[in-house]
Chains A and B, each alone.
Chain A
Amino acid sequence: MSVIYAVAHQTVREALRRRIMWIFLIIGVFLIALGPVFGFLSPRDSLVILKSLGLAAILLAGLFTTIVTCIYLIPVEIDRRTIYTVLSKPVQRYQFVLGKFIGGFFTVFINIAAMGIVFLVMLYFQMGHHLAPDMVEGVVLTFFQLMLLAALSIFFSTFATPVVNFFLSFGIFMVGNLTSVTDTLTTSKSPIAALAGRIIYYLLPQFGNFNIMNSLIHPGQNITNMQVYIRNCIVYAIIYSSVLLAIAILIFDSREV
């Protein structure tokens, strides 16, 4: 465990030293801070604007932070040959992959936590010193959604170049968010479309399930028990991430560096 911790700690240090990570964080905080301004200019309820813009900003900044951080974690060690001095020490390959994932995931956590705190504090004052529990749930689900994305990027990074990994991770994130399209395909009369819908639904991670706030995308859905729904989403993210990491370890175990 201490080896995984050492690799993870080192990964966080290196990730936090990258300027791009801070740029995404600043952009995210900036967009959240703009919420009241947009609320003032918009005919809609300023609180709705702040909520939707805040969650969108956290997701967007978190999405790019996750992809940009995680696609490089393993390839950069191979390219710079720093991996030679690491794997020639008593470090198992699974410890290396898990350390990289935990480090990347923790970097994303720092990013989401920073933006989430800014967002919730702004809401607190906007709502007359009241907390918004539904928004906390929204931030938590965004975090687990990005944890799943981090696992996906780490999985691809064990065999794909960063550029290929970027398009794969980003593409799958987009497809996984098109839940309504997948639903339409699955219930299609065409057997091929239905099969494609089922493949997408069962094989690709369903990122769309984590976006509970967007009633425009899920007009017909009504979540009866939010606590159970959130718990299921978290369990889904953990199980799916674990499977991805297990496969990533298997691939990396047989990879020559």
Chain B
Amino acid sequence: MATAISIQGLTKKYVDVWQKQEVIAVNNLNLEVQEGEIFGFLGRNGAGKTTTIKMLLGLVFPTAGDAALLGAPMGDNNAKNFLAYLPEETYFYDSMSAWDLMDYYGRLFKLPKNVREQRISICLEKVRLQKDAWHRNIRGYSKGMRQRTGIAQALINDPKLLFLDEPTSGLDPIAHAELRDIVASLKDEGKTVFLSSHQLADVELICTRVAIIHRGKLLRVGTIQELVAGQRTEITVQGKELMNGTLAKLKNISPDIEEQGMSTLVIQSDDTAQVSAIIDVVRGADCSVLSIVPHKRTLEEVFVETVRREEESL
């Protein structure tokens, strides 16, 4: 499989006018995205996601590093024929209709009139924008209709690589699910999607691989399965003897213990051998095991853990 995005040491620093304060928006980012992937790019607000996308598209210029999109250097004008971008907050020319807007963008790709008209219909139908709204001013569109138009404009050139920045934010549940499914369907058409999103449930559902970025630094990258690997088990035990030396023994096995009252402990562990050892200690101390709950980790938990760990280490 060919590489769709290859990023090497991409760095963006913002320095104030007096050259005194420096903010590192993106710090030595190295990343590869393969063709046909839906790649999730996760991070808190201000983590450097949008700056990275803008650098890749030539809208802002990197301080250091390099990147290639579909084999061409970033910002290459010819490569843009195969790219698409949906910005985070989709603003359009409000006095235009979706059809006129798409026609304008089609002209920027130098599409002939008949091809343009065909593509406009295909794209607007694909995003399920009601037909009666096609020729109405965007000013009167709802948020969902605007987002649909945003995705449609990104598809006008039948791109190979799409950069979607928060395509489903602020939508009602139905529109949210519909647009998520549309994004997911792009994979079936062989397109590569670079998806920046805070909707971690969506990312977990549709992305093949994910990268977590924090303060411009890449923290983790891998498939969803790799990131959420390792089942966590929660064991709740009860007994009067727990506080008389048993607690110390349990802490030696797993330090992740929460005391609930005088005689109840909730112990967390992601190691099956530890779980067995904990149960043995509890039984040996004449205490009882109230529950053993296996707990599958979600991407959200992985994200929160990863980011918190990084923040604590700073």
Contacts and interface: CB of A to CB of B under 8 A. Distances in A.
Partners in one complex: yes
Given A81-B89, A84-B59, A257-B60, A92 B104 contact: no
Contact of A256 (B61, B77, B83, B93): B61
Contacts of B109: 89-90
Contact of A6 (B77, B85, B87, B108): B108
Chain A residues touching B, majority SS: helix
A161 to B, nearest CB: 16
Given A10-B104, A89-B109, A82 B92 contact: yes
Interface residues on B, range: 20 to 34
Chain B residues touching A, majority SS: loop
Contact of A3 (B87, B108, B163): B108
A90 B77 contact: yes
Contacts of A84: 54, 57, 59, 85, 87
Contact of A86 (B54, B84, B108): B108
Given A84-B85, A90-B78, A14 B110 contact: no
A87 interface: yes
A3 B110 contact: yes
Nearest to B57: A88
B83 to A, nearest CB: 7
A89 B57 CA distance: 9
A251 interface: no
Nearest to B96: A13
Q: 8 closest pairs, A vs B, by CB?
A: A6-B107, A88-B85, A256-B60, A90-B80, A89-B108, A84-B87, A80-B91, A88-B57
Interface of A: 2-3, 5-7, 9-10, 13-14, 17, 80-82, 84-92, 254, 256-257
28 contacts: A2-B107, A3-B107, A6-B104, A9-B104, A13-B96, A14-B93, A80-B91, A82-B92, A82-B93, A84-B54, A84-B57, A84-B85, A85-B92, A85-B105, A87-B57, A87-B59, A88-B57, A88-B83, A88-B84, A89-B105, A89-B108, A90-B77, A90-B78, A90-B80, A90-B81, A90-B110, A91-B80, A256-B59
